[in-house]
Amino acid sequence: MNNDNQPCSAGDSTFSYTDEKFADLQMLRYRVDGFARLTVRQKALAYCLTEAALWGRDILYDQNCRHNIKVRKVLEAIYVTGAGRRDDDGFAALTTYLKRVWFANGVHHHYSTVKFEPAFSEAFLADEYAKLPDSALPLDGGQDRDGLWDELRRIIFDPSYMPKRVNQADGQDLVATSACNYYGDGVTQAEAEAYYAAKRQAAGDHSPEWGLNSTLVRRDGQLAEMVWRAGGRYGEAITHIIGWLNRALEYAESEAQRTVIIKLIEYYLTGDLRTFDQYSIAWVADTASVVDFVNGFIETYGDPLGIKASWEALVDYKDVAATARTETISANAQWFEDHSPVAAEYRKPEVKGVSAKVIDAAILGGDLYPSTAIGINLPNSNWIRAAYGSKSVTIGNITHAYNVASRGSGLLDEFVIDDAELQRIRTYGDVTDELHTDLHECLGHGSGRLMPGVSPDALKAYGATIEEARADLFGLYYIADSKLIELGLITSPDAYKAHYYTYMMNGLMTQLARIAPGAQVEEAHMRNRQLIARWALEHGRADHVVELVVRDGKTYVRINDYEALRGLFARLLAEVQRIKSTGDYDAARTLVETYGITIDPVLHAEVLGRYAGLGIAPYKGFINPRYEAVTDAAGRITDVRVTYGEAYDEQMLRYSRDYAAL
Ligand code: ZN
C-alpha cells in the first residue's frame, strides 16, 4: 500500500488498446476512464474488491488441473532467472508456453481445452530444472525434487496423459476422461450424476445448486464432498478474499450492498449453498449501487457435467449513459415476451425484474481473466431467476476495446461478400452488435418457462448450448423488429441486416478460425452459433435464403432474402424454446449433434488459410489496469491511483508473487 500523496492519474498518453501477440493469442488493454469520476469512497470500495478479485487466482489453476500450480511455479522460477537468454530457442519456446499457461490458467487451452504441446525439449527443461535451488521449487506434502520432476515431465510431455480439460464426447465417461480437478480418483460420471440428482430431488423446488462449491471424492468407499470454504478446501485463498471483503464493508455504498457483502462472507465461511442463494437474492436486489462485483464459484462450463463452478471475479462500475439503452429494453420486457414466435404455453405470463445496465470493468479475475465475457447475466439458479429476476450487464469498456482492436484488422474486407454489405456493416455493425448482446442478456435468458415437473437440467450436456441458442435467437428475432425503431434504439429498418450478415458469416465460417484442424466445435457459445447458422442455411436452401458461394476460389456467405432469414430464426426459436420448456433431451441432442459440432474440413482449411494471411490472433484477452491505494495515517484509503503501463509478464509474475495462496 502506498502512503505518498500523488494525485490519481487515469490518463496515459502512451495508452494502446493492443499489446503483445503470441501463439494464437492477442493481448489487449481496456480503459477505466469512468473510475476518475467515482467518489473517494467508491474508489476505496472498488479497490478492496479488486484485491478480493485477485486472491482467488490460484483456486482456478487448481480447479483446471491439479498439476497447474506446480507447473506455473517451476516455469516462472526458470523464466525469471533467464532474462539474458530470452533469444535462445529453448528459452523462447518456454516463454511462449508459460505465457499460454498464464492465459489459460493452466496447461490446457482456455477454449479448446486441449493440452498444450511444448516446443522445447524434455532435456532442455531437465537442464533448467537442475539449476533451480530447492527453495525455488514448490516442494510440499513430502514430495522431493525427483518426485516433482516426474510429475512435471508427465503432465508437460506425455500427450496421452490428461489430454483434455473438459471432454464432451458423447458416450464416454466424461469425468474419467477430463483433466479438470472437480472429482476425486475413481468417481464415475454415472454416480456423480446420480448423487446430485438425488440431492436435487430431495430439496424440491427451491433446491440450491448442489455440488457447485465442492470436490466430490470417494472416502472409505462412500462419496463425500470437500467443500470450498474458509477452513476447508481452498481455505487459504478464501481467507484472503474474506479479509478484503471485510475491508470493503467499511466503504459500502448502502445497507443493501452491506447485506450483499455480509452474505458473501458468511457463504465463504460456511460453504453453505443456501447462504449462497440468500447472497444471490440480495445481489439481484441491489441495483442502485454504482460499484458492483461478482466474486465466487459461478459458471459451470469447466465441468463436463455442468455441476461444479470455477472461481471468477469481476469488479465494475455503472456506465450511466449506456445503461439508458438497456433500461429501455428491460422496461419493455413483457411486450417482447408476449410477441415472441414461441408457443403461448412456453412463454412467461409475467416477466420479472430483468434489470439491465451497462458497466465498465475495473478488474477481471479468475475465470474472467485474461479471456473474458462481454456480458454477464446472473445468478444462474433457475428458481431465483424465476422468483427474483436476474441482473444483466454488458461490459462497455471491454466491448469497446474489442471493437477498436478489430477495426483495421482486415477481417471484414477478407470475408464479406461485397461493398454494399461491407458498407452496411461499417455503418450499423457496432450498434447492432451491442443491441444483440443487450437483447441476449436482458431478455433472451430470462424469457420462456419450463413446463411443470420439467427439470432445468433435463438437457444435460446439451443444456448449455440450447440455452445460449435460445438467448441468441431471441436477440436475432427482435433485432429486426420495428419495435426497436419505435423505442429509438435503432435508426434504420435495414440496420439489422448488418448483424444478420456478420452472425451468419461467423457461425458458418469465421469462428472456425479458433479451432485446430481436425477438431470439432466444443464450446457452448460456438456450438450455438454454428447450430443456428447451419440450421438456417439448410432450412432455407430450397428457397435460396442464404447460400455459400465460391468466387475466385474463396467462399462467401450470400444472404438473398433477409426477411425469410428472420422467419427461419423465428421457427428455430419456437423449436428451441419447446425443447427447453419440455425437457426434450432427444431433440436437443439431435439438433446439437446435427448442426452444432461437426466441421467441413475443406471449408475449415480455407478459413484458417485466409485468417493466417491476415495475421489475426483468433483469441484475445486483457491486461488489467493496476490500482494502488493511497492511505492516511489511520490506514483509511484516501485515493486510488490507476496506471496502465504494466507488461503482460510483469502483471502475471506480480499476481503469482503477491497473491500466492495455494
Ligand atoms: Zn448467454
| pLDDT score, position 153 | 98
Name the pairing type of β-strands 25-29 and 619-623. Answer: parallel
| pLDDT score, position 592 | 98
Helix (H) or strand (E) holding 369, with range, is none
Gap from CA of 470 to ligand 1 centroid (Å): 9
Successive 10-residue mean pLDDT values, the chain, 662 residues = 34 77 96 94 98 98 98 97 82 97 98 97 96 93 94 98 95 96 97 95 90 97 97 98 98 98 98 98 95 97 97 93 82 95 96 72 98 91 92 87 79 95 92 90 91 94 96 98 96 97 97 93 95 98 98 97 98 98 98 98 96 88 98 96 97 98 92
Angstrom distances, CA of residue 317 to CA of 157, 301, 314, 366, 481? 43, 26, 10, 18, 31
Gap from CA of 354 to ligand 1 centroid (Å): 14
| pLDDT score, position 11 | 43
User: What is d(CA 511, CA 521) in angstroms, rounded to the nearest whole number?
Assistant: 10
| pLDDT score, position 3 | 33
* Residue 357 grid coordinates: 445496465
User: What is d(CA 205, CA 213) in angstroms, rounded to the nearest whole number?
Assistant: 20
Gap from CA of 164 to ligand 1 centroid (Å): 24
Gap from CA of 26 to ligand 1 centroid (Å): 23
Long-range pairs for 286-290 at CB < 8 Å and ≥24 separation? 286/254, 286/256, 286/257, 286/259, 286/260, 287/355, 287/357, 287/391, 288/253, 288/254, 288/256, 289/253, 289/254, 289/256, 289/257, 290/38, 290/42, 290/253, 290/317, 290/318
Gap from CA of 440 to ligand 1 centroid (Å): 6
Gap from CA of 435 to ligand 1 centroid (Å): 14
Name the pairing type of β-strands 310-318 and 291-299. Answer: antiparallel
Gap from CA of 375 to ligand 1 centroid (Å): 8
| pLDDT score, position 14 | 75
Gap from CA of 474 to ligand 1 centroid (Å): 11
| pLDDT score, position 8 | 32
Residues, beta carbon < 5 Å, ion ligand 1:
468, 471
Gap from CA of 464 to ligand 1 centroid (Å): 9
Gap from CA of 436 to ligand 1 centroid (Å): 11
Gap from CA of 307 to ligand 1 centroid (Å): 17
Gap from CA of 326 to ligand 1 centroid (Å): 16
Residue pair 12/606 in contact by the 8 Å Cβ criterion: no
Gap from CA of 217 to ligand 1 centroid (Å): 31
pTM across the whole model: 0.77
| pLDDT score, position 10 | 39
Gap from CA of 165 to ligand 1 centroid (Å): 22
Helix (H) or strand (E) holding 216, with range, is strand 214-219
Angstrom distances, CA of residue 585 to CA of 374, 460, 555, 582? 29, 8, 35, 9
User: What is d(CA 227, CA 308) in angstroms, rounded to the nearest whole number?
Assistant: 11
| pLDDT score, position 326 | 83
Residue entry with cell 437440467: 457
DSSP secondary structure, 129-166, as one string: HHHS-GGGS---TT--HHHHHHHHHHHHH-TTSS-BSS
| CB atoms inside a 10 Å sphere around CB 203 | 13
Gap from CA of 471 to ligand 1 centroid (Å): 6
User: What is d(CA 398, CA 622) in angstroms, rounded to the nearest whole number?
Assistant: 9
Q: How far apart are the first and last CA of the chain?
A: 23
